[in-house]
A and B are shown apart, each in its own frame.
Chain A
Amino acid sequence: MNFEEIKSKLKNYTVGIAGVGGLGSNCAIALARVGVGKIIISDFDIVYESNLNRQYFFKDQIGLRKVDALKENIQRINPEIEIIDNYIKLNEDNIVEIYKDCDVIVEAFDLAEMKKMLIETLLSELPEKPIIIGIGMAGYGDSNSIDFRQSENLYICGDEKSEVSDENPPLAPRVGMVANMQANTVLEILLSKK
């Protein structure tokens, strides 16, 4: 497929992104650049200076809602993308309603318990839906540890072991690797649809 064909196919699809921090913001930007038709983003947080070491926001966006700032950044890159933005904290009771019509859902939370909540909710309530999760991306170096595996409709990106801490912070390169691996998996799923 050439890029025009890829773009015209991707235009028909909707991708849900749960959380727009390091994983979600970078994944959304990659998907917007290649022309995914509609992106549904949700996050309850605002942009802090400490986010700028890895998240796709700018210094003059500190204090804005992340969903508003990301929408603005996506529109500066590709104004044709339709963005549905929810300034909301996702939980067991609202996830299904927000994401049920997506072709693919990207898990992009930072906290392990939120990842668990989202995965369990989707596996029980929307068992057929492809879910792409990011686990393990703290620190720097060791590129080869970042891996990909699939378990039915669950797609797992990351090293599955490195946990963030003060001594092992999340940083742009490895977080970006996993975010872009998630975006790459979205394309693989959408472009193989009949």
Chain B
Amino acid sequence: MNITLNNRPESFGQERITISELLEIKNFTFKMLVIKVNNKLVKKDSYDSSVIKNGDDVTVLHLVSGG
């Protein structure tokens, strides 16, 4: 499947993956994340159940302190 991840095209062998699987594949190991799929917020407690499929637009924000 093909998705958009942080404004860039990405391809995966699988037809569907969960958010948790995506984070593992992409090696996003940070704790402080905000994730949107098709402009809808996905909260941490649904990372295991929320499924990403072909054509989805995924934004993963890694928050770091400073300001």
A contact residues vs B (CB 8 Å cutoff):
19, 21-24, 108-113, 115-116, 119-120, 123-124, 127, 133-138, 149, 151-154, 156, 160-164, 170, 175
Which residues from chain A contact B9 at a C-beta distance below 8 Å?
Answer: none
* B25 lies within 8 A of chain A by Cβ: no
A113 to chain B, nearest CB (A): 7
* B23 lies within 8 A of chain A by Cβ: no
User: Is the CB–CB distance between B59 and A138 below 8 Å?
Assistant: no
User: Is the CB–CB distance between A112 and B59 below 8 Å?
Assistant: no
Give the one of A123, A127, A134, A164 with max B CB within 10 A: A123
User: Is the CB–CB distance between A175 and B64 below 8 Å?
Assistant: no
Give the one of A21, A162, A163, A170 with max B CB within 10 A: A163
B contact residues vs A (CB 8 Å cutoff):
6-7, 32-34, 36, 39-41, 43, 59, 61-67
A167 to chain B, nearest CB (A): 13
Q: Which of A24, A112, A124, A152 contacts B65 (CB 8 A)?
A: A112
Which residues from chain B contact A151 at a C-beta distance below 8 Å?
Answer: 6-7, 36, 39, 59
Give the one of A134, A151, A164 with max B CB within 10 A: A151
Q: Which of B6, B34, B40 contacts A116 (CB 8 A)?
A: B34
Which residues from chain A contact B67 at a C-beta distance below 8 Å?
Answer: 19, 21-24, 108-110, 115, 134, 137, 170, 175
User: Is the CB–CB distance between A164 and B66 below 8 Å?
Assistant: yes
Q: Which of B7, B41, B61, B65 contacts A110 (CB 8 A)?
A: B65
Which residues from chain A contact B43 at a C-beta distance below 8 Å?
Answer: 120
Residue ID in chain B nearest A149 by CB atoms: B7
